Structure 1
Amino acid sequence: MHEVSLMENTLDIALQHASQQGANKIHRLKMRVGAMSGVVPEALEFAFDVVARNTIAEGAKFEIEQMPVVCYCTNCQTEFKPEDLIYECPQCHQLSHDIRSGREIELTTLEVS
């Protein structure tokens, strides 16, 4: 389960930022996770509960914003959300290889005191 190591790294980043701010408690963390990231949100939530134990993040609210796949059609010059795993433009039916969103895994919000 790579979600545990991913959460360990994310929590390390959060703890470093909290320390730099002189914080004693992390109240909320929010991550943005893309549909193509290979991350299972439920496993990430479970991993957070495990790795946050005995840290200043224990008991913090953990949120995941799931990001859909968004592609760009160079032929039509439009962005679109594919309906399935074939990234075909709904207007001109050309296949797209330009993925604009859906791969991200990032810590976006950190609330501390």
Structure 2
Amino acid sequence: MHEMSVATSLLDIVREELGKHEVEKLLLVRVRYGALANLVPEALEFAFEVLTTGTDFEGARIELVQNPVRLACGGCGREFEPEGRELLFSPCPACGEEVGHTVLSGRDLYVEHIEAE
């Protein structure tokens, strides 16, 4: 379950940011992740809860927001958001090409927002 190491890294980032702004109580962390980030949201939420229990971050919430996948067609270059389960092999809506697409977004994982007091 790599979500535990992801949660650890996210909390390290949060702790560093809180130190810069002289605040101590973490209320909320909003994390954006791409649909191709190989992340199980429920597992990350669980890992966050486990890692914050008994710490100064206990009671903080994590909010996860999924970013869509955006591809550029390998045939005609059109940018599009694929539909269905086979994200990387979705046909281009302009020319129908199914392979050779370039991933423009959807692999990302970052802290978007921190609320603290």
Q: TM-score, normalised to structure 2's length?
A: 0.86
Which residue is equivalent to 1:14? 14
Match of residue 113, structure 2, among 101, 105, 109? 109
Distance 2:14 2:56 in 1: 10
Which residue is equivalent to 2:73? 73
State whether residues 71 and 96 of structure 1, in contact with CA within 8 Å, keep that contact through their aligned partners in structure 2: no
Report SS of the residue matched to 2:27: strand
Distance 2:56 2:68 in 1: 31
CA drift of 1:61 comes to: 2.0
CA drift of 1:96 comes to: 4.1
Q: Deviations over 1:43-75 (max 9, x none)?
A: 001111011123332111210001121112254
Q: Which runs of 5+ in 1 are unaligned?
A: none
Report SS of the residue matched to 1:90: coil
State whether residues 89 and 96 of structure 1, in contact with CA within 8 Å, keep that contact through their aligned partners in structure 2: no
Instruction: Judge which range, 83-92 or 57-66, deviates more.
Output: 83-92
Q: Which amino acid aligns with 2:96?
A: H
Distance 1:101 1:56 in 2: 34
Report SS of the residue matched to 1:31: strand
Report SS of the residue matched to 1:16: helix
Correspondences of 1:9-88 after superposition (within 5 Å): 9-73=9-73, 75-83=75-83, 84-85=85-86, 86-88=89-91
Distance 1:43 1:6 in 2: 10
Q: TM-score, normalised to structure 1's length?
A: 0.89
Distance 2:42 2:17 in 1: 25
The alignment covers a number of residue pairs equal to 113
Distance 2:93 2:33 in 1: 25
